[in-house]
Copies of this chain bind each other. A is one copy, B any other.
Amino acid sequence: MSKKKLNVGLVGYGFMGRTHSNAFAQVNHFFDVDYEPVRKAICARDAAKAKAFADQWGYESAETDWRKLIERKDIDLIDIASPNNTHAEIALAAAHAGKMVLCEKPLALNRKEAEKMVEAVEKAGVPNMVWYNYRRVPAVVLAKQLIDDGKLGRIFHYRAKFLQDWTISADLPQGGAALWRLDVNVAGSGVTGDLLAHCIDTAMWLNGGIDQVTAMTETFIKERKHNLTGKVEKVGIDDASAVLARFENGSLGTFEATRYARGHKALYTLEINGENASIAWDLHDLHRLQYFDNHDEGRVRGWRSIHVTDSDHPYMKNWWVPGLQIGYEHTFIHQAADFLKGLSEGKTPAPTFRDALATDYVTDAILDSAQSGTWKQVHGA
């Protein structure tokens, strides 16, 4: 049976451009969905790099102006994988042109921009989704299932951290190319938008809304050479961010993100403690889930290390055989599969732009609190 073609125009060829492209290339090999994403065009300002990327990833064409990409009749979907400060403008134009829009996280530089983006896609009525990919780790989905099944009972605690160490060197410049995440004008914030946003998105998915927060942030290296200006400039991003939170369900949250935790590369960990059971997960061993069930017989009660590779685990019957792990990139393939399935069913799976806006409300409250030193109510909560 032949698939319906879905013509994709990708903006950006960096790290996220690759993960998305891989998702489009692989989804039909493993998931039985009605749609087939066609890698129609890649857009990037540097024509040579765009061309090279197109060759490597099998895009049929390359563009250097995203406005032109959006104008193309043969493009159904705009996928935004360019730096944060470009998200809003591109998304607004794409929605205006009636294209479906996928966008890398965080949705925008701040909640004002994000609100406009939500308004635009909803007004245009176009399918829209944000690549908070950790919602599609099989182990994390299993956690969600267990929570939804009521296995945990009343929730007391939620804690998450995202620890990295790649910016410890004071010699690392800020800004430009792969380093745009250090440039506050391009990134909007530091670890709060980059790493903590992931923690917040998953947290609200698993444990519901966040009511209030108090936070501290720190910039350990105050000045860095800027790659674009060539000058040593004040660093505007937060290097580390730590948060106390109260969830709407009465549970307590603690969050932390940093790029100064020596020895951790991408250690996103989360744990949720309920009356009857607890769950923990970490990205460095993403194929495992830790689960403690207080209903187990006392003598043999213990944290179970679940190797989430069985056929009854989320997404896993589509992959290999039990015991054989998948990795990071697969989360994007799963998200693409869910998006395509959603198209057939006439509904867009979460996280939509609106879902991602909720995360921006929290990260904005965090940054505000870190400035003011006081507890902040989350907008809309």
Residue A285 at the B interface, CB < 8 A? yes
A299 within 8 A of B: yes
Give the complex CA separation of A119 and B338 in angstroms. Answer: 50
Q: Are A265 and B156 in contact (CB under 8 A)?
A: no
Q: Contacts of A232 on B, CB cut-off 8 Å? A: none
Asked whether any CB of chain B lies closer than 8 Å to the CB of A47, the reply is: no
Contact indicator A302/B300 (Cβ below 8 Å):
no
Q: Is the CB of A273 within 8 A of B260?
A: yes
Copies of this chain per assembly: 4
| Residues of B with C-beta under 8 A to A164 | 323
Q: Count contacts on A: residues with CB < 8 A to the other chain.
A: 93
Decide if B323 touches A298 in the complex (CB within 8 Å).
no
**Chain B residues positioned under 8 Å from A327 (CB to CB):** 287, 324-327, 330
Q: Which of A106-114, A223-231, A250-258, A343-351 contacts B (4 or more CB under 8 A)?
A: A250-258
Complex Cα distance, B266 from A99, in Å, reads 45
Task: Give complex CA distance A198, B232 in Å.
Answer: 43
CA distance A15 to B317 in the complex (A): 12
In chain A, positions 92-119 with a C-beta closer than 8 Å to chain B are: none
Chain B residues contacting A165 (CB-CB under 8 Å) are 273
Is A29 within 8 A of B19, CB to CB? Answer: no
Flag if B283 contacts A285 (CB, 8 Å). Answer: no
Query: Given that A275-B168, A321-B266 are contacting pairs, would A306 and B300 also be in contact in the complex, using a CB cutoff of 8 Å?
Result: yes
B156 touches A220 (CB 8 A): yes
Bound-state CA distance A310–B57 (Å) is: 23
Q: Across the two chains, which residue of chain B brings its CB closest to A214?
A: B214
Given A214-B214, A220-B156, A254-B242 in contact, is the A262-B266 Cβ separation under 8 Å?
A: no
* Among A21, A292, A313: residue with most chain B CB under 10 A: A292
Residues of B within 8 A of A22 (CB): 29
The reply to whether B310 and A298 form a contact with Cβ atoms under 8 Å apart is yes
- Give A contacts to B, CB under 8 Å: 15, 18-19, 21-22, 25-26, 28-29, 56-57, 142, 145-146, 152, 156-157, 159, 163-166, 168, 214-216, 218, 220, 240, 242-244, 246, 250, 252, 254, 256, 258, 260-267, 273-278, 283-289, 291-294, 296, 298-307, 309-310, 312-313, 319-330, 373-375
